[in-house]
Amino acid sequence: MLPPFDPWLTSCVTLDVAAASRASEAALAGRRARRLADLLRSAARGSALYRKLLAGRDPDKLRLEELPIARKPELMRQFDEWVTDPALRLDALRRFVADRTRIADPFLGRYVVWESSGSSGEPGVFAQDARAMAVYDALEFWRRPFQRMMDPWSVGERIAFVGATGGHFASTVSIERLRRLNPALARSLHGISFLQPADRLVAELNALAPTVIATYPSVAVLLAEERLAGRLEMAPRELWTGGEDLSTATCEFLQQALGCQVVNSYGASEFLTLAAECSSGSLHLNCDWAILESVDESGRQVPMGEAGATTLLTNLANHVQPLIRYDLGDRVTQRASACACGSHHPVIEVQGRNDDTLRLGGADTRMVRILPLAVSTVLEEDAALFDFQLEQQGPCDLVLRTGLHGKSADASLRRARAALSAFLVQQGAAGVHIHCRSGEAGRRSRSGKVQRVVAAPA
C-alpha cells in the first residue's frame, strides 16, 4: 500500500514554499495569520476539545497568546477528543505503532503515523494527512542550502540515515515512505541502526560509502573519532545533523575530522523540519508554517534575543491533530539581527537536547562509547521505561533512577537493567554495574531540564 501522497497538493505547496523562501517579513506574516485562522477554524469544527476552548471566539481576531498552553500528557489523555477525525482512536494507533512490520503503512488508508520518543515522559503518537506531508516534503527539500540536494528524487546519491531504524519514529517512517513512493529513490536511501556495536556500524558504512550521512551530532562525533582512528575509511560529501544540540566547536570538529560540509537542522516529531541551516550557517525557522514562542516558567513570552524556559509550537500544517501553543520542551532563542543570506525567516538558536555519550571501561579493559540516544531507545523500546536518568559514576558504574514509585517501578527497573545490561554486553562493555533507584527524579541541569544520560565528569 502506498503511503499518503498527493502530487497536485505537493506541487502547489512546493511552489508556495519556494516563493516564501525569499518573501518579505510582511508576506510571511500574512501567510502565518491566514494559516493560523484556518487551523483554528478547522480545530473548532473537528476537535471536541478545541470546540469547547474556542466557543464564541472569532478565529480571525483571536490572538494566539489568549489560548492556553497545551502539554503532551494532557493531550494524550484526551486524544480521541483532541483529533479532528473521530476515526482516529488512540488504542488502535498504539496497536499500529507496536507492530514493527507496519512502518510507513497508511493508517486508515490516509494517515502517516509516527511516535515520538518519551524524552518528556510518555511517548506521543502523531498522525499526518497528505496535506501536512506535502508541507513537510516541500520544507525538507526546498529549504536546504545546497542546490544539488534540492531534487527530492535525486538518484545520484547514497543517503544513509544512522539512527533508531526499528520503530515507528518520524525519521524512519519518513525514509520508508519516500522509498515506497519512489522505487528509484529506494536504491539511494538507506537506514542504518545505531544500536549495533561501533565496529559493525563502521563496517556497514565502509561497505555502503554513502555520499550523505544524516544523523545525530553524538553519532556524528563517534563516526568522526572512528575516521581519525583510521577505521572509518569513507567520508561523506555532506553530513546532515539534527535532533540534538550542535555546538560550534562540535561542528568544526566534525568538519575537520570528516572533511565534509555539515548541515544542521532542527525538527521534532511534532513538526518534521522546524528550521534548516542556510549557506551562512544560521538556522532559519520555517515561520510560514510553524510559530514558535519562547516563554518563561510562568508561560509569559520572553523578549527577542533571550532563551525562555521552554518553547511553544503552533503547527500550521497539521489540521488532523491540532498543535496549538504546544510545549516542546526545548529552549529556543530568536535572534533579532538579519542574516547575511538575505532570508527573512527568523534566525534561531536551540538548546535543550544535550545528553552525553558514555565512555565505559578504560583502565584494564577496552573503552567502549555508548550513544545516549541508543540508551534511550533500548530503555524505551525494550523496557517501556520513559521516566529515567542514567548517570555514570565511575568507569564501570551506572546509576539508573526513575521518579516512579512502588512495586511497578521496581519491576520496571529490573526489566530496564536486564535490557541495558544485555545491550552493553553486545556493545563490548561487559562488567558494568547498574545500580537502580526508584522514587528519585533525575537531577536537573542548569537549564532546568532533566538530562537523561549523564557522563562522569572528565
Only segment of 44-52, 62-70, 230-238, 336-344 that touches Zn ion (CB under 5 A): 336-344
SS3 154: coil
**Number of other residues whose CB lies within 10 A of the CB of residue 397:** 14
Asked whether the beta carbons of 125 and 115 are under 8 A apart, the reply is yes
Residue 339 CB, nearest approach to Zn ion (Å): 3
Cα-Cα-Cα-Cα torsion 417, 431, 217, 157, nearest 10 degrees, comes to -100
**Number of other residues whose CB lies within 10 A of the CB of residue 340:** 11
- β-partners of residue 313 are 292, 326
Residue 116 per-residue DSSP state: -
Q: Which is nearer to Zn ion, 135 or 278 (CB)?
A: 278
Only segment of 72-80, 170-178, 191-199, 276-284 that touches Zn ion (CB under 5 A): 276-284
Closest to 160 in 3D by CA, of 140, 143, 175, 180: 175
Residue 250 CB, nearest approach to Zn ion (Å): 20
Q: Does 455 bind Zn ion (CB under 5 A)?
A: no
Mask 385-424, x = binds Zn ion (CB under 5 A)? ----------------------------------------
Q: Does 22 bind Zn ion (CB under 5 A)?
A: no
Those residues whose C-beta lies under 8 Å from the C-beta of residue 273, and which sit 6 or more positions away, are 136, 139, 140, 143, 265, 266, 267, 286
Q: Which is nearer to Zn ion, 339 or 396 (CB)?
A: 339
- Alpha-carbon distance of 218 to 373, in angstroms, equals 8
Interface residue with Zn ion among 112, 339, 360, 416 (CB under 5 A) is 339
CA 148 to chain centre: 24
Residue 263 CB, nearest approach to Zn ion (Å): 12
Those residues whose C-beta lies under 8 Å from the C-beta of residue 118, and which sit 6 or more positions away, are 380, 386, 387
CA terminus-to-terminus distance, the chain: 51
Residue 333 CB, nearest approach to Zn ion (Å): 15
Q: Which is nearer to Zn ion, 275 or 373 (CB)?
A: 275
Only segment of 23-31, 183-191, 212-220, 337-345 that touches Zn ion (CB under 5 A): 337-345
Q: Which is nearer to Zn ion, 247 or 280 (CB)?
A: 280
Q: Which is nearer to Zn ion, 283 or 396 (CB)?
A: 283
Q: Which is nearer to Zn ion, 284 or 417 (CB)?
A: 284
**Number of other residues whose CB lies within 10 A of the CB of residue 202:** 20
Subset of 343-362 contacting Zn ion (CB under 5 A): 343
Only segment of 109-117, 206-214, 335-343, 440-448 that touches Zn ion (CB under 5 A): 335-343
Q: Which is nearer to Zn ion, 132 or 263 (CB)?
A: 263
Only segment of 48-56, 223-231, 341-349, 386-394 that touches Zn ion (CB under 5 A): 341-349
Cell of 423: 545491550
Asked whether the beta carbons of 30 and 16 are under 8 A apart, the reply is no
Q: Which is nearer to Zn ion, 78 or 280 (CB)?
A: 280
Q: Does 341 bind Zn ion (CB under 5 A)?
A: yes
Residue 281 CB, nearest approach to Zn ion (Å): 8
The residue count for binding Zn ion (CB under 5 A) is 6
Residue 24 CB, nearest approach to Zn ion (Å): 15
Only segment of 11-19, 79-87, 333-341, 447-455 that touches Zn ion (CB under 5 A): 333-341
Those residues whose C-beta lies under 8 Å from the C-beta of residue 288, and which sit 6 or more positions away, are 16, 17, 20, 23, 28, 31, 32, 35, 316, 345
Residue 279 CB, nearest approach to Zn ion (Å): 7
Q: Which is nearer to Zn ion, 82 or 266 (CB)?
A: 266
Only segment of 65-73, 188-196, 275-283, 450-458 that touches Zn ion (CB under 5 A): 275-283
Subset of 279-298 contacting Zn ion (CB under 5 A): 280, 282
Q: Which is nearer to Zn ion, 56 or 342 (CB)?
A: 342
Only segment of 40-48, 183-191, 339-347, 354-362 that touches Zn ion (CB under 5 A): 339-347
Q: Which is nearer to Zn ion, 39 or 283 (CB)?
A: 283
Q: Any idea which residue has 516563554 for its cell?
A: 295
Would strands 283-285 and 310-315 be described as parallel, antiparallel, or unpaired?
unpaired
Q: Which is nearer to Zn ion, 174 or 282 (CB)?
A: 282
Cell of 163: 539512527
- Alpha-carbon distance of 434 to 418, in angstroms, equals 9
Q: How far is CA 113 from CA 82, 104, 323, 379, 432, in A?
A: 16, 7, 15, 22, 37
Subset of 417-436 contacting Zn ion (CB under 5 A): none
Cα-Cα-Cα-Cα torsion 365, 383, 74, 98, nearest 10 degrees, comes to 120
Q: Does 278 bind Zn ion (CB under 5 A)?
A: yes
Treating both helix axes as pointing N-terminal to C-terminal, what angle do 248-258 and 217-228 enclose, rounded to 10 degrees? 40
Only segment of 267-275, 342-350, 426-434, 449-457 that touches Zn ion (CB under 5 A): 342-350
Binding site for Zn ion (CB under 5 A): 278, 280, 282, 339, 341, 343
